């Protein structure tokens, strides 16, 4: 793990090789920070030397590195944001990390680093945040790609089994662990279809070692809000092209949710990625990259 601790981008070639993406050399990518108010800072990964064409917002209990393989596949300048309370971004004292607060924090990040991006891609919590951004910052969202979530997700989760929730169920488990391998084992059990190299890399990006030697997640426990249903009004009001991507093996978005999405945004396109779970970007990064390219081509 020393190589990663010295350089968080040292594993990108492993991402490329695992997905079969031709390796043209280490890409230009660096970490940037933005003051988002209230003494808080948000961190993000800035890919490329040109202004970002695509912005990526991850799901709850994830971080910006979840998009590494998708961004490598696209080969476009991009900005991947660590949402508040995640990755290298600051934690909030009130622990309110829901879409409304997240969108307020993401707004200044996009204005600083990606004011003319062609699309915002958000998965799960990041997808709900993208929906909210269409309402509070429509000038920053020219196209929206929403990955495996709708404002009805709060109705789906209570009835899901732990297996159906996959890695999202880990947020209800221990907050710290004696060893790194203990976390890898738990994560692999929650996502048995992913290669172990994928699991280890994800855990490396999403954990940190404490001064006492124990390992902990690199995210705060989520809190705030009683549901997301009011975000349906933002879907209805959105004036930009929207794309909804569903994981074919995920039940986070039901058929009726997708139908409601299209009813409220008649021009929206819906794609299903066969075999992908809730984290489509981890399970099927190349098909997702192809869908994003298609969305970018929409007028």
| Residues 183-226: tens digit of each pLDDT | 999 999 888 888 899 999 999 999 999 999 999 999 998 765 56
Question: For residue 146, is pLDDT > 80?
Answer: yes
pLDDT at 222: 76
pLDDT band at 35 (very low <50, low <70, confident <90, very high): very high
Mean pLDDT of 138-149: 98
Mean pLDDT of 76-91: 98
Distance CA(82)–CA(78), nearest Å, equals: 13
pLDDT at 123: 98
Question: For residue 160, is pLDDT > 50?
Answer: yes
pLDDT band at 169 (very low <50, low <70, confident <90, very high): low
Question: For residue 166, is pLDDT > 90?
Answer: no
Angle, vertex CA 267, rays to CA 265 and CA 273, nearest 5: 90
Question: For residue 162, is pLDDT > 70?
Answer: no
pLDDT at 224: 56
Question: For residue 248, is pLDDT > 60?
Answer: yes
Those residues whose C-beta lies under 8 Å from the C-beta of residue 252, and which sit 6 or more positions away, are 124, 148, 149, 153, 156, 157, 160, 278
Which two structure tokens, joined as six digits, stand for 101? 């607060």
Helix axes 99-113 and 125-136, enclosed angle (nearest 10)? 70
pLDDT band at 268 (very low <50, low <70, confident <90, very high): very high
**CA 83 to mean position of chain CA atoms:** 9
Could you tell me if 117 and 142 are in contact, meaning their C-beta atoms sit under 8 angstroms apart? yes
pLDDT at 155: 79
Which two structure tokens, joined as six digits, stand for 112? 């600083």
Catalytic positions are 124, 148, 278
**All domains in the chain, ordered by first residue:** 2-157+226-296 (3.40.50.1820)
pTM: 0.95
Percent of the chain with pLDDT over 70: 94
Angle, vertex CA 78, rays to CA 48 and CA 201, nearest 5: 90
Distance CA(191)–CA(237), nearest Å, equals: 36
Question: For residue 6, is pLDDT > 90?
Answer: no
Question: For residue 2, is pLDDT > 50?
Answer: no
Place of tokens 């990259």: 289
Residue among 95, 134, 117, 104 at smallest CA distance from 46: 117
Could you tell me if 102 and 83 are in contact, meaning their C-beta atoms sit under 8 angstroms apart? yes
Question: For residue 116, is pLDDT > 50?
Answer: yes
Q: How many CB atoms lie within 10 A of CB 193?
A: 12
- H and E: helices and strands count for the chain: 13, 11
pLDDT, tens digit (0-9, with 9 covering 90-100), for 39-71: 999 999 999 999 999 999 999 999 999 999 999
């Amino acid at each position: 793990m020393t190589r990663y601790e010295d350089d968080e981008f040292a594993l990108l070639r492993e991402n490329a090789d695992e997905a079969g993406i031709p390796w043209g050399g280490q890409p230009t990518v660096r970490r940037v920070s933005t003051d988002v108010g209230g003494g808080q800072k948000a961190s993000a990964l800035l890919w490329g030397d040109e202004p970002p064409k695509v912005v990526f917002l991850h799901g709850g209990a994830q971080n910006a590195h979840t998009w590494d393989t998708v961004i490598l596949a696209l080969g476009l300048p991009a900005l991947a944001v660590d949402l508040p309370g995640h990755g290298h971004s600051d934690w909030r004292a009130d622990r309110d990390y829901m879409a409304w607060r997240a969108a307020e924090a993401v707004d200044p990040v996009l204005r600083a680093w990606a004011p003319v991006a062609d699309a915002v891609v958000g998965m799960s919590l990041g997808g709900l945040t993208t929906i909210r951004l269409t309402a509070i910052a429509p000038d920053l969202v020219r196209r929206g790609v929403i990955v495996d979530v709708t404002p009805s997700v709060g109705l789906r989760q209570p009835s899901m089994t732990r297996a159906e929730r996959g890695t999202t169920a880990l947020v209800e488990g221990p907050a710290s662990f004696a060893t790194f391998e203990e976390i890898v084992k738990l994560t692999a059990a929650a996502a048995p279809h992913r290669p172990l190299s994928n699991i280890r890399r994800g855990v490396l990006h999403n954990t940190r070692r404490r001064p006492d030697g124990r390992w902990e997640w690199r995210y705060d426990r989520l809190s705030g809000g009683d549901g997301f249903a009011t975000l349906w009004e933002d879907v209805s009001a959105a004036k930009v092209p929207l794309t909804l991507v569903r994981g074919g093996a995920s039940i986070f978005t039901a058929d009726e949710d997708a139908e409601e999405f299209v009813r409220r945004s008649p021009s929206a396109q819906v794609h299903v990625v066969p075999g992908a779970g809730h984290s489509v970007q981890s399970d099927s990064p190349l098909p997702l990259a192809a869908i994003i390219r298609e969305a970018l081509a929409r007028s």
